[in-house]
Structure 1
Amino acid sequence: MISVPGTINIRSIEGRFGSFNVGTLECSIGSFTVKDSSIEEFDEGSYTGDFVIEKIKPNSYFHSGRMVVEVRAFLSAIMLKRDASPQPVLAESFEQDPLEEDMADLPLGQLAGSGHPTHFIEDAPTLDEDSTLQSLFGFLYPLGNCVKLDPTINRALFRQQKDHLKANGYRFVASEQHWVKE
């Protein structure tokens, strides 16, 4: 592991499974693609801070008749300055949704690591809103005024949690990496 100061440029992209974030980490040792769950909560923009890189490895995929080769950094921690606010960043035209990568080697209809059919909580039959929220957030339910999501859970579930918080009056505080009820 190595800790480096740098800037991460985060873009939101609309994919087959909904929107997802990708980042480009610019630091003294190079420029790397970041597609970790840890950046899913961030708004689009450019953030400066210190980044703990767990590993670096090449990755490739096909998209729109092209083969894309990238050097990917896997982050174990992001430490932004307290006053960090996103600066505008230019978007690129193509990216593969990381959820597609997670699902690539699974039988049709299963999510990576879950063994469950691919459906979203909204599609599941619900007894009431409390039980739906409890199944969505697990031990985090009931939600307080400050919520810290776990980006190591199943990526599809993590996105559902993030989308629910956004839709229900929570704001992501990037420097603290938690959600606050407004």
Structure 2
Amino acid sequence: MAVTLAPERSVSPIVVPGQLALRTIRGRNGPFTVGRLSTHLGVFEVKDPELEQYHEGKYDGEFIIRYIFPKSYPVGGGMRFEIRASLDGMTLFGIDKLSGDEARSFAIQDVDPLDEESGAPPAATPAKPAKVSRPAKPAPVRASADPLVDTTPFGADAAPSAAVAAPGSTEEGDAALFGLLWPLGQSVKLDSTIDRRTLRAQIARLGELGYALDFKTQEWSRQAELQPA
């Protein structure tokens, strides 16, 4: 079980210059983002939902640290300990690519913050299944010419009807996903205080709709369509 000490909240947030390195890791829930903030106060791990929006890289800027706290959680049959910083905001000035060494410095077996928040156990390496004999191939069933005769093999699921398989309209789904942000304008600022799973779904959908994040304004803007030459 993960052990978390109560965070030490300062009287007021601290504003510090620094560099935030972000790494995208592929997990069982899909890609997730973890960060490492380097400042004159020290180096801290950052796993705030806000980071889900940003591309992998190194960001220079000023960071508002709300509080700093120790965190431990199980990883790969052992325990990992780290010092985390929770951010209350940030102003970013520029971005650079991670070097190979910087990318490898992040733990690939890192726990997805989504699993950590839900209390789900870390993903374990699946055991190799035992070899079993392959069942005999059933004889083909010949369809009847009579439309009133059901030739579906016993135990087989029938194909879902078109009415059941057809999903709701995309507009209705987007309205439910974005809530008060719908209908979307030319620029959108996401609320990172909502649950992380919904935030990830909003980020993915904005990309499908042609929006791109401006990390300096921290807003998603609709990309202008290319004009014919």
TM score, norm. by length of structure 2: 0.67
In structure 2, C-alpha distance between the alignment counterparts of 1:132 and 1:181, rounded to whole Å: 19
Structure 2 stretches of 5 or more lacking a match? 1-12, 121-165, 224-229
Alignment match, 1:179: 220
Q: Is the counterpart of residue 85 in structure 1 residue 85 in structure 2? A: no
Alignment match, 2:180: 139
Which of 8, 17, 42 does residue 29 from structure 2 map onto?
17
TM score, norm. by length of structure 1: 0.84
Alignment match, 1:6: 18
Cα offset, 1:102, TM superposition: 1.0
Q: Secondary structure at the match of 1:43?
A: coil
Cα offset, 1:126, TM superposition: 4.4
Q: Could you tell me whether the CA contact under 8 Å between 1:13 and 1:21 is conserved in 2?
A: yes
In structure 2, C-alpha distance between the alignment counterparts of 1:87 and 1:3, rounded to whole Å: 24
Q: Could you tell me whether the CA contact under 8 Å between 1:3 and 1:52 is conserved in 2?
A: yes
Which of 29, 47, 65 does residue 41 from structure 2 map onto?
29
Cα offset, 1:87, TM superposition: 2.8
Structure 1 stretches of 5 or more lacking a match? 106-124
Note the 1:1-182 alignment, pairs <5 A.
Answer: 1-81=13-93, 84-89=94-99, 90-91=102-103, 92=106, 93-104=108-119, 126-182=167-223
In structure 2, C-alpha distance between the alignment counterparts of 1:175 and 1:94, rounded to whole Å: 30
Aligned sequence identity (%): 39
> Alignment length, in residue pairs?
161
Stretches (4+) displaced over 4 A: none
Cα offset, 1:69, TM superposition: 0.4
Q: Which has the higher contact order (CA 8 A, sep 6+)?
A: 1
Alignment RMSD (CA, Å): 1.4
Q: Could you tell me whether the CA contact under 8 Å between 1:47 and 1:87 is conserved in 2?
A: no
Q: Secondary structure at the match of 2:207?
A: helix
Give the residue type in structure 2 aligned to 1:171.
Answer: A
